């Protein structure tokens, strides 16, 4: 209503001005370059209005050509890009719904309508990956890497493809390049660490772990445990190469980081004993046993005086187990020493308590040997032994693999520092999604098992 009122008012104003000019046309004389022009004021106003109208029409026509004219107008381009963005959104929805074929078709149509942009390559690469066309996905990731905004995403996709194909060296090179692109990305830090570990580059892995720690991507306790695993791996390599003095220092560093780590304590005790430092080796074993009894420590402790009598061995065992006599490993070791010393009557209450509190296969085997030595009926013990749980062991918390000894990498799934010591209890494990897995699980997510730096035989030889 207001607009109509304004239009009517403007028309009346123009009509009033035109009437006034018609009634009073006036006279205008223009002298220019020897020419004299006579006209009325009304004619001059009309001429000016015509010129203004022509100018306005010209401006409108140029604007229409630039904006709305088919093919050449900007609005046509905007509409074309709008259709492209709509198809791009539809392709993303199709991809989320699992229809990768439709997603691929839509993103290819969107690519024709849209200017070059990373999102097109990203969706096309994901659609190609889901359809099993890894060659096309790799081409898309290469194209994405060449864009300014999508370079990091392209590198990430190429790393995944390289790991899928088992090209760990190429994946490591790409991950290092991605790190230079984005030094604070959680993905690149974790992946770089995992690949350095898989390659056995322990110093580089330690540097990557330090970066992960600075960004607070892992809890401090986990970081410390990983550092201990890395230093143990370095010490093991040094020991295998014959650098015993360097290995001894590195094993000590491992125990500083993780004082209850039996494999490091056993390896260090063996080095000290080989160097003639028997008392120091005994002290190392006793210190770690007081924190976490472990059969590997018992084996090393026995080797420190292999020629001793059964009574002397029993005396040393009691000295070792005084700090935690109720622990299952301590009771098992005491029972072994008592059986070795032929003190069967003393061994019986120890083994009865052990089979009640920790009825592992090893405990029942000792109990069966005692039954034979005392002339008891072995049938009920053999029945219990048949259903007994396995004894204390290392178990991968990711895949459940149980090696003979500890190693930095799981031989079953390639996970780093995933072994935990279990004293016969049931172990729950479930394969985690690589996107949600902590750093310890990322080493082997490429699908190709990775060999540990220390295989089972070497780990057992080093006392792991």
User: Checking DSSP bridges between strand 35-39 and strand 28-32, what pairing results, if any?
Assistant: antiparallel
Tell me the pLDDT tens digit for each residue of 207-225. 889 888 888 888 899 899 9
Q: Which range in 33-47, 351-365, 420-434 is most confidently predicted, on average pLDDT?
A: 351-365
* The predicted structure's pLDDT at residue 73: 54
Q: Which has more confidence, 170 or 389? A: 170
- Please name the residue ranges forming H helices in 292-413: 295-303, 310-321, 328-340, 344-357, 361-374, 379-386
Q: What confidence category does residue 360 fall into, taking pLDDT thresholds of 50, 70 and 90? A: confident
Domain ranges of the chain: 73-128+136-149
For the chain, give the mean pLDDT.
82
* The predicted structure's pLDDT at residue 422: 82
Q: What confidence category does residue 427 fall into, taking pLDDT thresholds of 50, 70 and 90? A: very low
Q: Which has more confidence, 264 or 72? A: 264
What is the arithmetic mean of pLDDT over 348-366?
89
According to DSSP, the residues that pair with 421 across neighbouring strands are 394
**Whether the Cβ atoms of residue 126 and residue 95 lie closer than 8 Å to each other:** yes
CA–CA separation, 385 and 298 (whole Å): 23
Q: Is pLDDT of 269 > 90? A: yes
DSSP 238-255: HHHTT-HHHHHHHHHHHH
Q: Is pLDDT of 373 > 70? A: yes
Q: Which range among 64-78, 127-141, 261-275, 298-312 shows the weakest confidence by mean pLDDT?
A: 64-78
CA–CA separation, 333 and 289 (whole Å): 12
**Whether the Cβ atoms of residue 331 and residue 353 lie closer than 8 Å to each other:** yes
* The predicted structure's pLDDT at residue 412: 84
Q: Is pLDDT of 206 > 80? A: yes
Tell me the pLDDT tens digit for each residue of 322-338. 988 889 899 999 999 99
Q: Is pLDDT of 446 > 50? A: no
Percentages of the chain per state (helix, strand, coil), in multiples of 5: 65, 5, 30
Q: Is pLDDT of 43 > 90? A: no
DSSP 64-133: HHHHTSTTTSHHHHHHHHHHHHHHHHHHHHHHHTT-HHHHHHHHHHHHHHSPS-HHHHHHHHHHHHHTT-
Q: What confidence category does residue 435 fall into, taking pLDDT thresholds of 50, 70 and 90? A: very low
Q: Check residue 392 and report its DSSP letter.
A: S
CA–CA separation, 333 and 133 (whole Å): 58
Q: Is pLDDT of 280 > 90? A: yes
* The predicted structure's pLDDT at residue 263: 93
Q: What confidence category does residue 71 fall into, taking pLDDT thresholds of 50, 70 and 90? A: low
Percent of the chain's residues with pLDDT above 90: 25
Q: Is pLDDT of 75 > 80? A: no
Q: Is pLDDT of 186 > 70? A: yes
Q: Is pLDDT of 433 > 70? A: no
* The predicted structure's pLDDT at residue 68: 60
Q: Which range in 14-23, 61-70, 252-261, 398-407 is most confidently predicted, on average pLDDT?
A: 252-261
Q: What confidence category does residue 267 fall into, taking pLDDT thresholds of 50, 70 and 90? A: very high
Q: What confidence category does residue 308 fall into, taking pLDDT thresholds of 50, 70 and 90? A: confident
**Whether the Cβ atoms of residue 228 and residue 254 lie closer than 8 Å to each other:** yes
What is the arithmetic mean of pLDDT over 140-145?
90
Q: Check residue 440 and report its DSSP letter.
A: G
Tell me the pLDDT tens digit for each residue of 408-423. 888 888 788 889 888 6
């Amino acid at each position: 209503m207001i607009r109509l009122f304004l239009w009517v008012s403007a028309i009346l104003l123009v009509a009033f001005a035109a009437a006034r000019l018609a009634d009073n046309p006036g006279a205008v004389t223009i002298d220019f370059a020897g020419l004299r022009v006579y006209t009325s004021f009304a004619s001059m106003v009309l001429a000016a209005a015509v010129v203004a109208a022509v100018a306005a029409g010209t401006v409108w026509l140029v604007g229409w050509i630039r904006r709305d004219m088919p093919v050449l107008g900007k609005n046509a381009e905007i509409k074309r890009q709008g259709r492209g963005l709509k198809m791009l959104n539809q392709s993303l929805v199709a991809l989320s719904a699992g229809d990768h074929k439709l997603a691929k078709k839509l993103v290819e149509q969107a690519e024709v309508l849209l200017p070059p942009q990373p999102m097109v390559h990203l969706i096309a690469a994901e659609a190609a990956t889901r359809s099993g066309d890894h060659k096309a996905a790799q081409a898309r990731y290469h194209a994405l890497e060449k864009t300014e905004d999508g370079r990091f995403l392209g590198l990430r996709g190429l790393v995944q493809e390289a790991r899928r194909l088992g090209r760990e060296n190429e994946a490591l090179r790409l991950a290092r390049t991605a790190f230079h692109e984005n030094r604070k990305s959680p993905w690149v830090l974790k992946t770089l660490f995992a690949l350095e570990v898989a390659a056995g580059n322990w110093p580089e892995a330690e540097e990557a772990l330090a970066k992960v720690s600075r960004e607070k991507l892992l809890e401090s306790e986990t970081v410390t445990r990983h550092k201990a695993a890395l230093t143990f791996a370095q010490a093991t390599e040094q020991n295998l190469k014959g650098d015993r003095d360097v290995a001894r220092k590195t094993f000590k560093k491992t125990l500083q980081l993780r004082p209850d780590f039996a494999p490091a304590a056993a390896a260090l005790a063996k080095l000290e004993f080989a160097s003639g430092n028997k008392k120091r080796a005994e002290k190392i074993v006793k210190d770690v046993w007081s924190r976490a009894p472990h059969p590997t420590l018992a084996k090393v402790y026995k080797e420190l005086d292999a020629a001793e009598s059964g009574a002397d061995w029993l005396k040393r065992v009691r000295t070792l187990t005084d700090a935690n006599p109720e622990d299952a490993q301590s009771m098992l070791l005491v029972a072994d020493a008592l059986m070795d010393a032929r003190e069967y009557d003393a061994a019986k209450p120890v083994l009865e308590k052990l089979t009640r509190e920790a009825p592992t296969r090893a405990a029942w085997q000792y109990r069966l040997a005692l039954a034979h030595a005392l002339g008891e009926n072995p049938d009920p013990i053999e029945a219990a032994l048949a259903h007994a749980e396995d004894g204390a062991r290392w178990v991968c918390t990711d895949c459940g693999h149980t090696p003979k000894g500890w190693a930095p990498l799981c031989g079953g799934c390639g996970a780093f520092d995933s072994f935990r010591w279990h004293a016969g209890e049931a172990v729950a494990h479930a394969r985690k999604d690589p996107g949600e897995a902590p750093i310890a699980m990322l080493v082997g997510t490429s699908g190709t098992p990775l060999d540990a730096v220390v295989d089972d035989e070497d780990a057992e030889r080093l006392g792991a």
